[in-house]
Amino acid sequence: MTASTEHLAIATGLSVLGETGTWDVGSVARGEPAGVRTDRVLVDIAVAYRPVPRIELVAQGSASVSLADAPGVHLAGRALGDTFVRARWDVRDPDERLPWPGVGLVFGVRAPTGDVGADASALSDVAGTGLGAWELSAGVDLRRSLGSVWMLGVAVEGAARLPDESTGTDRLLGPRVTTALSLMYRPTDDLAVSLSVAEWWEGPTVLGGVNEPDSSLRRTTVSAGLTTRTEALRWTAVVAADPGFNGFGTNGVTTLRVGLLAAWVR
């Protein structure tokens, strides 16, 4: 959220997420049935602080309003999301004059403060949902300057979930691995355009000491962002979508998300 020259950021985001279909256990994509629609309005609040230039601490909370429609049925609900705490260590900054990339190490904790719904597992990458279990994560972020205005990034993160009973049964969610490839174009200090492709994988779930068959998850997400800065605020508009094609996911829900983030930075 912050650069090494910044000290504090307070951000709030508003986004709309719509479910567009599913992938089954054979990675076959299907659209939503006729007359069925599920949407969420998500609100995220985050605070980032750098006690020293190379260390960033972030806390994030969220909430959501969900709307579901089917023939003859309309449901609405509100839910709190999980709480995230992250620490980032910028080991080395990217430098176009050097052959090696910049390196950042990221460590995180996801606390199960959110409401756990029936689709919590299928949408576990959405901050506005409740996972129902503690999650501990660690990752590495590599960034390489390609000239003065281009930046290439590669990020890998792994996470382990602790046992829980949020569904009324002894449960152990499978481990998570996330990879992302990103490209950013920054022609000026006040304007940046980014494009990224992320892959999210989760191992099988264990219920009551028994592996649940066909419970592993996988999804691919493509996103684009535009960031601009005024005198007081930094604005970021994001569009993210899961390609609704065969082979791009397993046991997951395909979504389309559009959001706007405003951050006060000093």
Which pLDDT value is given to residue 231? 80
Model confidence, pTM: 0.92
Is the pLDDT at 123 greater than 80, yes or no? no
pLDDT tens, residue by residue, 63-101: 999 899 988 888 888 888 999 999 999 999 988 788 899
* Distance (Å) of CA 205 to CA 48, 50, 144, 247: 33, 37, 37, 21
Q: Return the domain boundaries, the chain.
A: 8-265
Distance CA 149, CA 193 (A): 10
Residues in the chain: 266
pLDDT band at 154; cut points 50, 70, 90: very high
Is the pLDDT at 103 greater than 60, yes or no? yes
Residue 167, classified by CB atoms within 10 Å of its CB into exposed (0-12), middle (13-18) or buried (19+), is middle
* Distance (Å) of CA 116 to CA 17, 178, 210, 226: 18, 22, 21, 32
Is the pLDDT at 263 greater than 60, yes or no? yes
Residue 23: phi and psi, rounded to 5, are -110, 135
Which pLDDT value is given to residue 122? 55
CATH class of 8-265: mainly beta
Is the pLDDT at 239 greater than 90, yes or no? yes
Spatial CB neighbours of 101, under 8 Å, sequence gap ≥ 6: 94, 142, 143, 144, 154
Which pLDDT value is given to residue 167? 85
Which pLDDT value is given to residue 16? 96
Q: Which of 217, 23, 53 is nearest to 121 (CA)?
A: 217
pLDDT band at 124; cut points 50, 70, 90: low
Q: Which of 186, 178, 20 is nearest to 94 (CA)?
A: 186
Is the pLDDT at 121 greater than 80, yes or no? no
pLDDT tens, residue by residue, 217-235: 999 999 999 999 988 799 9
Q: What is the mean pLDDT of residues 173-180?
A: 96
